[in-house]
Structure 1
Amino acid sequence: MSSEPTSAVIDGTTLKGRSGVARIWHACGYSLAGLRAAYAGEAAFRQLVWLSFLLLPLALLLDVSRIERAVLIAGVLLALIVELLNSAIEAAIDRISYELHPLSKQAKDMGSAAQLLALCLLALVWAVILL
């Protein structure tokens, strides 16, 4: 009979490894690495970044209320966030397999649809506020 335990109890902090300021510092580094990877490897993300370089200063210069300015900026940031999530979905699916599979296609198509809706929202918000 073995004296080894049959299961180990591990909480989330054991798996995370760091806490406090060190965890925040390392998380920022991982986030910056993710932004660099998206910019280097995803043409759609690069295009949105360059669009953001145009739209964000424009949002600050327009003669609109603070709430309208915040909504203009939020729309731009939302499009970037959704593109990052879409790219993450695609990377995870590709990591699993390049084989064509209906569920892989469905996951990628839904990520793409989310980005389409985010871009439609961005266009709608800017149109409503500016026109």
Structure 2
Amino acid sequence: MSSEPNPLGAAAALKGRGGLARICNAAGYSLAGLKAAYAGEAAFRQLVWLNLLLIPVALLLDVSRVERAVLIGVVVLGLIVELLNSAIEATVDRISLDLHPLSGRAKDMGSAAQLLALCLVGLIWGVILL
């Protein structure tokens, strides 16, 4: 019998409840994450406002349902990528605020992902509208 702690058991204990209670907890954590991103990340706030502008525009445009879904989906994708980018930055900063090449690389890659997502927004909206 091993005296080593079981890391999977410890992780399961941290997860807590199952079923509906787990879904409710997860929804609460998700809302807390959205609030934290909105409060602490200017880029996320800007994208929220862009979504609040572009989604109604997409609903009013004379385009097919598929095109409308793509127009809305791509701007929501920009929000998702920004959340992931912010999570990467927070994690790297939590580990250390010291300058390190790997930390810089992780942050730069997150930023590059956001740049590509925003280019995709511009491309998709441009192709559908022009």
Pairwise TM-score range, normalised by the shorter structure:
over 0.9
Alignment of 1:29-108 (within 5 A): 29-108=28-107
Matched, 1:7 2:4: yes
Query: What amino acid sits opposite 1:7 in the alignment?
Result: E
Query: What amino acid sits opposite 1:38 in the alignment?
Result: A
Q: What does the per-residue CA deviation read over 1:67-114, in whole Å, with 9 as the maximum and x for residues that have no partner?
A: 000000110110000000000000000001110000000000000000
Q: Structure 1: how far apart are the matches of 2:43 and 2:95?
A: 22
Query: Where does the alignment leave 5 or more consecutive residues of structure 1 unmatched?
Result: none
Paired-residue identity, %: 72
Q: Structure 1: how far apart are the matches of 2:49 and 2:37?
A: 13
Deviation at 1:7, TM superposition (A): 3.3
- Structure with bigger gyration radius: 1
* RMSD of equivalent CA atoms: 1.4
Query: What amino acid sits opposite 1:60 in the alignment?
Result: L
Q: Structure 2: how far apart are the matches of 1:99 and 1:119?
A: 29
Q: What does the per-residue CA deviation read over 1:39-70, in whole Å, with 9 as the maximum and x for residues that have no partner?
A: 00000000000000100001111010000000
Q: Structure 2: how far apart are the matches of 1:126 and 1:96?
A: 38
Q: What does the per-residue CA deviation read over 1:1-27, in whole Å, with 9 as the maximum and x for residues that have no partner?
A: xxx742355456444211010000010
Q: Structure 2: how far apart are the matches of 1:39 and 1:14?
A: 30
What is the TM-score of this pair, normalised by structure 2?
0.93
Q: Structure 1: how far apart are the matches of 2:20 and 2:2?
A: 34
> Which aligned runs of 4 or more in structure 1 are off by greater than 3 angstroms?
7-15
Q: Structure 2: how far apart are the matches of 1:114 and 1:55?
A: 21
Query: What amino acid sits opposite 1:34 in the alignment?
Result: G
